[in-house]
Amino acid sequence: MERPQPDSSMPQDLSEALKEATKEVHTQAENAEFMKNFQKGELTQEGFKLVMASLYHIYVALEEEIERNKENPVYTPLYFPEELHRRASLEQDMAFWYGPRWQEAIPYTQATKRYVQRLQEVGRTEPELLVAHAYTRYLGDLSGGQVLKKIAQKALNLPSSGEGLAFFTFPNIASATKFKQLYRSRMNTLEMTPEVRQRVLDEAKTAFLLNIQTWLPPRRPGGSPSPASSPRHLCCDGSSHSAFWWPRSLWGFTPCEFKCAGSWGP
């Protein structure tokens, strides 16, 4: 029985293949209402705090798994803790946004838990896929971080010193452009079979979708009105969502608008 041949149309370099494979889902992320509102400077402090808390949980998990696999050849070439790791920066931001007892105060949504669980699963059982998550997170942060920092600073009237926005700053990277070139060249040195390569591409798409879902606000843990008694958002597919736990005034969009735009499924 012949083995399946790799797709000849697939770009040779892993970095180019990842860029091509995630083009559609990257567009979905850019067109998500939360991100569009962010780019327009239309964000609230509560919404921003929630997203930053999600990022804290995500990077703690990601960087724990990176440390677990830092000597594994499937990841070693991409190990840049001094330049890239975000946990310490996010701890500063959590203290700014949630106070000295932030570890007891920060939210942990179900969408964020799903993202964290996937990172842990990958790091422990499929470490060859860790590159997909590192690529999605770190190169995305480097590409848009400074722009988003300036927008948030202005929209939320934050100090010019950068307090509350340490996550967006990479003090140990002199040139983001040059570092991204180095990172991509290191990615392209990773040896993998066509089957593993395809799984990495698929995992990168998963990482984008998991990230998009963290932008969706959580259901209240208790005390919400029953579906029958609370106002509803009616979706294009006939389903509906409670308007009580999803205030449009906070997020600038409803779950139905997000779903019907094709960026999120049930």
- Looking at residue 232, the DSSP 8-state letter turns out to be E
For the chain, the average pLDDT equals 83
* pLDDT of 152 over the 60 cut: yes
Supply the pLDDT for residue 61.
98
pLDDT category of residue 261 using cuts at 50, 70 and 90: very low
Whether 253 shows a pLDDT value over 60: the answer reads no
Tokens at 117, concatenated: 């669980």
pLDDT in tens, 174-224: 999 999 999 999 999 999 999 999 999 999 999 999 999 998 766 555 444
- pLDDT number for residue 265: 35
Q: What share of the chain is helix, strand, coil (3-state, %, to 5)?
A: 60, 0, 35
Please say whether the beta carbons of 134 and 62 come within 8 A. Answer: yes
Q: What is the pLDDT of residue 7?
A: 52
Give the confidence band of 150 by pLDDT, cuts at 50, 70, 90: very high
Asked if 146 and 168 count as a contact pair (C-beta separation under 8 A), the reply is: yes
User: How does pLDDT run across 224-250, given as a tens digit for each residue?
Assistant: 433 333 344 445 554 444 333 333 333
- Whole-structure pTM value: 0.79
The helix/strand/coil state of 240 is strand
Please give the C-alpha separations between residue 28 and each of 22, 170, 198, 254, 263, in angstroms, as whole numbers.
10, 26, 21, 16, 5
Overall average pLDDT of the 90-114 stretch: 97
Has residue 6 got a pLDDT over 80? no
For the stretch 50-92, pLDDT in tens is 999 999 999 999 999 999 999 999 999 999 999 999 999 999 9
Predicted confidence at residue 9, as pLDDT, reads 53
More confident residue, 87 or 36: 87
Per-residue pLDDT, 32:
85
CA within 13 Å, CB half, 171: 7
